[in-house]
Amino acid sequence: METLPIVSQSPFPGEFRVMYCGDCVTFTLTLSAKAKGEAWIRTNLGSAAISRKEIIRRIERDEIKLDEAWYDIKMSPEGDLNFKIVLPLHETGFFQAKCFFTPEHSHTPIWPSGDNTIFNVEPAGTCCANIIYNAFVRQFGKSKSDAAQEKDISSIIKKLDTKGYTVIPESGKFRDLKKQVEFIFSDLGCRVLHLLPIHPTPTTYARMGRFGSPYAALNFTEVDPALAEFDPSATPLEQFMELVDMVHFHNGYLFMDIAINHTGWAASIHETHPEWLVRGEDGKIQAPGAWGVIWADLTKLDYSNIDIWKYMADVFLLWCHRGVDGFRCDAGYMIPVNAWEYIVAKVRVEYPETLFFLEGLGGKVEVTRQILSKANFNWAYSELFQNYTQQEITNYLPTAFDISNSCGPLIHFAETHDNNRLASVSKLYAKMRTSLCALFSVSGGFGFANGVEWFATQKIDVHESSGLRWGNKDNQVDHISKLNLILKTHPTFLGTACLSLIQKNQSDSLVLLRYNKEYEKRVLVLVNLDCENSNETTWKDGDAGINDNMLFDLISGSKIKIQKLGDLSMIRLAPGQTLALTSDMDDIKALDLQKQIKVQSRRTSIYKS
């Protein structure tokens, strides 16, 4: 009796990979011994439309999923033991594949040990420079430059409050933010404008804070009229779409924040679908919460009811029709993975490159992985902004890098509306943390809240309208612009780059190696996390793959001398100093050229307008 061969596969069975439209993936099947027969690959790559329809019909028609998207492709022999096939990735989506060998005169396939290989294929345009500017429209009014109210006005408001009046100052408008789009995209160099929720907000009933929280949505399909100026020629929704058009004019993406896990009190859904509310045994409507805090101004929706999945899918599609390019899904980990799988599939039937961004802070890591993979979200929040010491960051980043490379990029935010302002500690600290989040990003996944560039110190309170210090002469606008230019142009910030921490000493500093094998480019990112004391940091030359005594800083363009101690390299970093070091002077020249092109393009844009 003939002994059957053992088969092995590359990529490995059970491996997860993030790849991009336009990439090609090579599969090889290797036999342990020579045998007659054929090799095949079974996959649903290229069948995104069929897979999505199966997901939708399972929910809408209660059909059994038949896996009609799967098919077999014959592999080509490469010698006696190997078979090979190269498949193009031309669709976004969640895909699986596995090779097998069928011996001659047999219909029983021999499979390699392990699960299917998983591919999360992202839009080609997201392979780098996924730089997000988070804007709270309300803050672009009078509080943009200074939130401080005159004392006499403040005292009047307090008197009216005590008498039961509702006092809500004027909000910033869509058109106020529209005026700053040129600055956000051209000057700062961002690629995504992410808006905090723009839905109608409680103004009287169950209002919390001076303005009420935008996360307490009263209607998911409407915009808050407080965010529009009165104009008989343009409705509030049309003014929102003016902003969308301006973002698209600058080749940017417009993301809106949407919190479908909950609503505000007295939301329209309460009237039309009271059965969608979660109630306790006593009949009381439940409020959601996290981290031991109850969000009392919100009401929780019941996702055990599949009808709400269908309703929300239509909500997302409506905003896509209105030009929205992506969604930041607040508290997304609280929604069942299967519900997200359906909603995303429903949207991608019509808008296959719509981006879904998970806010999973406080949720389990495994849930984040599932939503990025099975539900096919594109990005998720990184928790780097909540890790501060060398030990905390060193412990956290390997997991972040693994999720980014296998499921979907985690976006490093320098600041969010949930945290105190970096500049409230110090401007040097703000600059260091901004640099850290940008230069440690995967696929250039870097974000920051409005005001970071101006060293704003007042925490963003979603119930109020804190100041941004807009136009502050002491700022980091040029610094952020340079960071973003590096993220956009240097090959080590592409999604294909490998990242590894290689610091060898215990000082409060980090050394990150960024390596792009395809371009043979390396960058060492050095950060002193201590903003009060200088620190020596060391790394092994062998780990870095760089042996030069003189390196060049991409940020400043300066020459940096490196001290050698045997096979170790060492440098003393000033308090809060960040460096992005290359051994190739041509990298500096390339950045200078890109900066000149950017300046010229900016001048041309101003001239045309």
Tell me how far apart the alpha carbons of residues 317 and 321 are, in angstroms, rounded to a whole number.
6
CB contact at 8 A, 384 and 448: no
At 78, give phi and psi (nearest 5°).
-130, 80
Beta-bridge mates of residue 356: 327
pLDDT, tens digit (0-9, with 9 covering 90-100), for 18-33: 999 999 999 999 999 9
Residue of 573, 451, 439 whose CA lies nearest to 493: 439
- pTM (two decimals): 0.95
CB contact at 8 A, 89 and 24: yes
Share of the chain above pLDDT 90, in %: 89
What average pLDDT does this structure show over 576-601?
89
Tell me how far apart the alpha carbons of residues 586 and 552 are, in angstroms, rounded to a whole number.
10
Tell me how far apart the alpha carbons of residues 324 and 519 are, in angstroms, rounded to a whole number.
35
Residue 432 scores a pLDDT above 80: yes
What average pLDDT does this structure show over 156-166?
89
pLDDT-derived band of residue 67, with 50, 70 and 90 as boundaries? Answer: confident
Residue 565 scores a pLDDT above 80: yes
pLDDT, tens digit (0-9, with 9 covering 90-100), for 107-156: 899 999 999 999 999 999 999 999 999 999 999 998 898 755 555 577 88
- The token duo for 78 is 């490469």
What average pLDDT does this structure show over 472-497?
97
Beta-bridge mates of residue 266: none
Every domain of the chain and the residues it spans:
7-122, 126-489, 499-594
Share of the chain above pLDDT 70, in %: 97
According to the model, what pLDDT value does residue 1 have? 52
According to the model, what pLDDT value does residue 501 have? 98
Between strands 37-43 and 24-31, the pairing is: unpaired
Integer-rounded Cα Rg, in Å, for the chain is 26
Mean pLDDT of the chain: 94
Class of domain 499-594: mainly beta
Range in 10-14, 69-73, 163-167 the model is least confident about: 163-167
Domain 7-122 falls in which CATH fold? Immunoglobulin-like (2.60.40)
According to the model, what pLDDT value does residue 607 have? 47
pLDDT-derived band of residue 291, with 50, 70 and 90 as boundaries? Answer: confident
pLDDT, tens digit (0-9, with 9 covering 90-100), for 395-412: 999 999 999 999 999 999
CB contact at 8 A, 541 and 511: no
Domain 126-489 falls in which CATH fold? TIM Barrel (3.20.20)
Please report where in the chains the tokens 């403040």 appear, as a residue: 154
What average pLDDT does this structure show over 390-395?
97
- Per CATH, 7-122 and 499-594 having the same topology is answered yes
